[in-house]
Structure 1
Amino acid sequence: MILDLFFPNRCIHCGRIIDAKLLVCSLCFEQIHFTHYDYFGDTIIKEKCRLLFPVENTYALMKFEQDGLSQKIIHELKYKSRENAGKTLAEWTTERLDFKEEKPDLLLSVPLHPKKLKERGYNQLHLFTETLSKFHSIPFDHELIQRNHYSKAQALKDKKHRLETKNPFSRSKSISGKHILLIDDVFTTGNTVSSIAWEILNSGDNRVSVLVMAVDA
């Protein structure tokens, strides 16, 4: 396309010109610190989640590093209108994640408040979730959980303010007897996924697992 000639896609890390569908060049790709977690194994995410709510399995694609490549990738997705980056991250995830014979019943991504969704124009987790759904043949539901309050990004809040937030999410309907995989971008304190997990667990005989693009640990 003509636009590609005048505005070529560049690696978000080193600036080399790359294919329009890529985020990073092959050299920079080797610098991404993938976790190589076992979905069924003991991870730092599982340890933290178990302090907050009963969790089945956990997985993180990357290690989140301040000012590192993983942070650049997440920020491209969240704040620079690179919604398609979610598809790329999902493809990287499917190459590394093995549910074996225990696939979850439903994929559920952390929602944005309607005002935030309008400002950003998209939920950075939706295309990621939908790509995983298609690959693994697992349904998703973007309407099950709603965010009740409009607030600034979790990353910009101090720890005390995060812990003080009450009932940030609610269910739009009842759900029972399901194993739900809860999807978020970055796992830090675990408070966001914990709030949603309890909405699910209190609804019926449900189980919750957690998948994130990156873990800050």
Structure 2
Amino acid sequence: MNMFSMIHLVKNSLREYMLDSYNLLFPNVCIHCNTILLYQEKHLCTKCRFSLPKTHYHLLKDNPLEQKFVYEPRVRGASAFLHYHKGGVAQRLIHTLKYKDEPEIGTLMGKLYAPELLEANWPVELIVPVPLHRSKLKKRGFNQSEKFGEGLSEIMEVPMDAELVRRVKRTSTQTRKSKVERWQNTQDIYQVTQPQKIAGKSILVVDDVLTTGATAGQLVSELILRQAASVYIATIAAGK
């Protein structure tokens, strides 16, 4: 073994030792059950990952999400990876993703959900994430829907364009608003920047959480106005 190889080996050994020491003092724990994560586990332990509350909506025709968009015949499918319950694992994942600076959780959710969406055989040609207003994007540093879309795009091999739609109106929080108030709060908030890239395409709209469908619904309407051939919707989680 030459000197260069020996130095490289020592450096790698020291790096691994320092990493092991750090993990011993500050162990990574599962977001949901707080057990210490094992080697190569990220954010969720294996047990919690296998017990995720999946909706399987992608296999159910006229599922509860699709029923929220019955008014628009060009919405051909809508699905969510997880059921959203107060205090549940989906809520913890979304909260950690959005408010604890963990954008990789969004990408992980996309990678985990993509194989299931492929089972639905949706003929999507382009992924469009629900955009954030520039003020919120600046504060958070990333768009959680875009991160989810990145994970889906990588596994599904469908391109994503996060620049096709801008959020031009900042709205107040949707929390504690009625269904009607949510729809009123989200009117005229999106602008398509390059309509020619939308026309005639089958678009997959992605978001983090869908409840009433108000936010995603306004984006869907804008895409259809710009002559999208069909629209599909996929979210990390869905509430009632």
TM-score, normalised relative to structure 1:
0.90
Report deviation, 1:178. 0.2
CA pair 176-39 structure 1, distance change in 2 beyond 3 A: farther
User: Which amino acid letter does the alignment assign opposite residue 173 of structure 1?
Assistant: Q
Conserved 8 A contact 1:53-1:197:
no
Moved over 6 A (4+): none
CA pair 9-37 structure 1, distance change in 2 beyond 3 A: same
Report deviation, 1:157. 4.6
Report deviation, 1:4. 2.9
CA pair 150-100 structure 1, distance change in 2 beyond 3 A: closer
Deviations 1:14-66 (A, max 9, x none): 21110465122123334421012235722111111113563111221011111
1:151 to 2:171 alignment: yes
Q: How many residues are treated as equivalent by the alignment? A: 216
Higher RCO by CA contacts (8 Å cutoff, separation 6 or greater):
1
Show the counterpart of 1:179: 202
User: Which amino acid letter does the alignment assign opposite residue 164 of structure 1?
Assistant: Q
Report which of the two has the higher share of helix.
2
Where do 5+ consecutive residues of structure 2 fail to align? 1-18
Conserved 8 A contact 2:115-2:155:
no
- The 5 A counterparts of 1:45-56 are 45-51=65-71, 54-56=74-76
Find the partner of 2:85 among 65, 87, 95: 65
1:108 to 2:128 alignment: yes
Report deviation, 1:12. 1.1
In 2, Cα distance between equivalents of 1:205 and 1:28:
38
Alpha-carbon RMSD: 2.0
User: Which amino acid letter does the alignment assign opposite residue 77 of structure 1?
Assistant: L
Deviations 1:111-151 (A, max 9, x none): 01111001001111222211211211111110111111223
SS of residue matched to 1:189 = coil
Deviations 1:53-99 (A, max 9, x none): 63111221011111211111111111111111012211220232225
Show the counterpart of 1:17: 36
CA pair 191-135 structure 1, distance change in 2 beyond 3 A: same
Show the counterpart of 2:211: 188
In 2, Cα distance between equivalents of 1:145 and 1:85:
23
User: Which amino acid letter does the alignment assign opposite residue 15 of structure 1?
Assistant: N
Conserved 8 A contact 2:211-2:239:
yes
Show the counterpart of 1:170: 191
In 2, Cα distance between equivalents of 1:15 and 1:23:
10
Conserved 8 A contact 2:74-2:229:
no
Show the counterpart of 2:235: 212
In 2, Cα distance between equivalents of 1:101 and 1:26:
28
In 2, Cα distance between equivalents of 1:73 and 1:89:
9
1:6 to 2:29 alignment: no
Where do 5+ consecutive residues of structure 1 fail to align? none
In 2, Cα distance between equivalents of 1:205 and 1:84:
30
- The 5 A counterparts of 1:63-142 are 63-99=83-119, 102-142=122-162
CA pair 52-158 structure 1, distance change in 2 beyond 3 A: farther
Q: Over alpha carbons, which structure has the higher Rg?
A: 2
CA pair 151-93 structure 1, distance change in 2 beyond 3 A: same
